[in-house]
Amino acid sequence: MKRLDPERLAFEWGQAFGRSPDGVALAPGRVNLIGEHTDYNGGFVLPMAIERHVGVAFGARGDRTLRARALAFAESRDAEIDRLRPGMGGWFGYVAGVAWALEASGYRVRGADLLIDADLPRDAGLSSSAALELASARALSAASEIDWEPVEMAQLCRKGENDFVGVACGIMDQMASAACEEGAALLLDCRSLEGSAVELPAGFTVVVMDSGVRRSLAGGEYNRRRQSCEAAVAALREDFPEVGSLRDVSAERLATVRERLDETVYRRAQHVVLESYRPVDLAAAFAAGDVARAGHLINESHDGLRDLFEVSCRELDMLVDLARDRRECLGARLTGAGFGGCAIALVEAGSAATFIDAVQDRYRKSVRAGQDFFVSRPVGGARLVP
């Protein structure tokens, strides 16, 4: 995929709208290092923003019209801010949802002309939706002179996705795209939204491996996973009323209600209970330079997603197995919601190119042709390009 060039985007904005833009906002996609399907269960996550972005060149207008053009779809859409109503789908729904959420929390959004481009693949589990939301939020905030506060903006963008577009996501992706610090992953407590910066162990890097499988069924399956988690919490509360979410439950306690739970619900809850604090453990292993333990945790996370939570697929399992076969790989797992999309591997930095050649070659030969693998350093959250 062609790399995003903010200067070119600003130039094209000028061509499209016949004046100079006010600026360009960039928001990154993310991988999650560990802590999968824990955000909506109040647990911990450890996402890392990647060097792939959505860019929004913008200019304020004198009225209340929101006009946007997406280069990837060669499509333009517009709407009056005062007439935005929940239920709008398509790419423009994510943009309009941000304006709607800002207004719903009392901000006054100015009309704006937006030109959108990205070098983040869609539907690959790298949070292109959250990146579009945060880049739009950064652009609309700047055009409307609204102060930028990353945690608040992540919450507003999630509200737009939940209540305007109608997708029941958790908070991880928006927080990663808004609040990651340059050079570090973000250890986030999804209950308190307190975060801390976590550096990768020296000498290691993250390789992103796209399976090429697109997550067409993810919506329904994702909601079913959430319902299983809620069913487990309801059963636990009968005996332990203090339980707020699966994060509060140990594997031993979960086992005490096993016979009252459907077997599938039990397995799903087991994954979440085991995964909720893995991000804290992985951050501790990184800090201690205990790379063997780090790799072990990453592998355990994937195995739980495959066997207990059941959100992997044949292609992701093959990618993970091919990666783990390599000596320079510490651990590998699927990243994001699952059902397709990407896997990540923690790899010795000096051997990353060899790793990519070998795994990509075997994957392309035995599974799917032409899939994109890349190394990413951790980048910072949504920002304006001067």
Active site residues: 173
Least separation in angstroms between CB 141 and ligand GLA = 22
Select the span of 20-28, 131-139, 164-172, 284-292 touching ligand GLA (CB under 6 A).
Answer: 164-172
Stretch that binds ligand GLA, among 33-41, 77-85, 145-153, 197-205 (CB under 6 A): 33-41
**Of 81 and 334, which CB lies nearer to ligand GLA in the complex structure?**
334
Q: Which of 10, 33, 37, 315 binds ligand GLA (CB under 6 A)?
A: 37
Q: How far apart are CA 286 and CA 205, in angstroms?
A: 12
- Stretch near ligand GLA under the rule CB under 6 A, chosen from 3-11, 14-22, 35-43, 265-273: 35-43
Stretch of residues binding ligand GLA (CB under 6 A), selected from 170-178, 248-256, 260-268, 297-305? 170-178
Q: Does 169 bind ligand GLA (CB under 6 A)?
A: yes
Three-state secondary structure string covering 130-189: HHHHHHHHHHHHHHCCCCCCHHHHHHHHHHHHHHHHCCCCCCHHHHHHHHCCCCCEEEEE
Q: Lay out the site mask for ligand GLA across 321-360 (x = CB under 6 A, - = otherwise).
A: ---------------xx-----------------------
Given 42, 43, 93, 170, the residue binding ligand GLA (CB under 6 A): 170
DSSP 258: G
Give 121 or 170: the residue with its C-beta nearer to ligand GLA.
170
Q: Which residues contact 241 (CB under 8 A, 6 or more apart)?
A: none
Residue 9 CB partners (closer than 8 Å, separation 6+): 24, 55, 57, 115, 117
336 or 378: CB nearest ligand GLA? 336
Residue 133 binds ligand GLA, judged by CB under 6 A: no
**Two tokens at 25?**
């906002």
Smallest gap, in angstroms, from Cβ of residue 37 to ligand GLA?
5
| 36 binds ligand GLA, rule: CB under 6 A | yes
Residue 211 neighbours by CB distance under 10 Å: 26
SS3 359: helix
Nearest to ligand GLA of 233, 257 (CB atom): 233
N- to C-terminal Cα separation, the chain: 24
Which of 84, 88, 172, 246 is the binder for ligand GLA (CB under 6 A)? 172
Q: Which is nearer to ligand GLA, 190 or 352 (CB)?
A: 190
Tell me which residue has its CB nearest to ligand GLA.
170
Quick one: which of 40, 94, 204, 266 contacts ligand GLA (CB under 6 A)?
A: 40
The backbone region for 52, taken as left when phi is positive above 0, alpha when psi lies in -120 to 50, beta otherwise, is beta
* Region of 36-44, 65-73, 134-142, 315-323 interacting with ligand GLA (CB under 6 A): 36-44
Tokens of 338: 């699952």
Q: Decide: is 39 part of the binding site for ligand GLA (CB under 6 A).
A: yes
Residues β-bridged to residue 346: 206, 331
- Separation between Cα atoms, residue 93 and residue 85, nearest integer Å: 10
Sorted by sequence, the CB contacts under 8 Å of residue 355 that are 6+ apart come out as 207, 323, 326, 328, 329, 345, 347, 348
Half-sphere exposure of 92 (CA within 13 A, CB side): 21
Provide the minimum distance between the beta carbon of 296 and ligand GLA in the complex, in angstroms, as a whole number: 20
Distance CA(88)–CA(95), nearest Å, equals 10
229 binds ligand GLA (CB under 6 A): no
Instruction: Characterize 80-118 residue by residue with b for buried, 16 or more Cβ atoms within 10 angstroms of its Cβ, and e for exposed.
Output: ebeebeeebeebbbbbbbbbbbbeeeebebbbbbbbbbb
Instruction: Tell the smallest beta-carbon distance from residue 232 to ligand GLA (Å).
Output: 16
CA-closest candidate to residue 258, choices 236, 241, 276, 226: 236
Stretch that binds ligand GLA, among 34-42, 87-95, 236-244, 358-366 (CB under 6 A): 34-42
With binding defined as CB under 6 A, does residue 187 bind ligand GLA?
Answer: no
Does residue 94 belong to the site contacting ligand GLA (CB under 6 A)? no
Name the H helices within 203-345: 218-239, 251-256, 263-275, 278-287, 291-307, 314-324
Chain residues that interact with ligand GLA, rule: CB under 6 A: 36-37, 39-40, 169-170, 172-173, 336-337
